[in-house]
Amino acid sequence: MPNTYNKPVPAADVLTQPFWDGCKAHELRMQRCIRCAAFIFFPSPMCHGCNGTEFRWERLSGRGTVYSFIVVYQATMPGFAQDVPYVVAWVELAEQRGLKMVSNIVGCEPEDVRAGMPVEVVFEDVMAELTLPKFRPMK
């Protein structure tokens, strides 16, 4: 694990800390509304479907499909310069239609990424206190 990480890092708060704790444990966890059972991402104090305010955190399978993506060829921040080209994708998770998150696709060439491609989560321990979820093609 590198001693320094020269890219912007997310700032956890009371709503997002359980998500980041899950990532640290190499588990993809998301809020689930107690009232309507919908998964919610990005963490929120209120359900987007029923306006419920009670949740539990559940571990997801980590499987999904690429919904949409872009290939970045020019870094807009110096910390990303060594990564170009890289893929930023909107991944629809298997647990619920419409449950999507943005992440990187790793483990393949950018030109091999396609919409509809099955992917699975992998975790990158970038600092002692930070683990990032990314996705790779399903094996």
pLDDT along the chain (139 residues), means of 10: 77 95 98 97 95 98 98 93 96 97 98 98 95 96
Cis peptide before 43 (omega within 30 of 0): no
Length of the chain, in residues: 139
Residue 2: what pLDDT? Answer: 53
Distances (CA, A) of 108 to 12, 55, 56: 29, 36, 34
Give the residue from 114, 24, 119 showing the smallest Cα distance to 62.
119
Q: Which residues contact 36 (CB under 8 A, 6 or more apart)?
A: 47, 49, 50, 52
Q: Determine contact, residues 48/31, Cβ cutoff 8 Å.
A: no
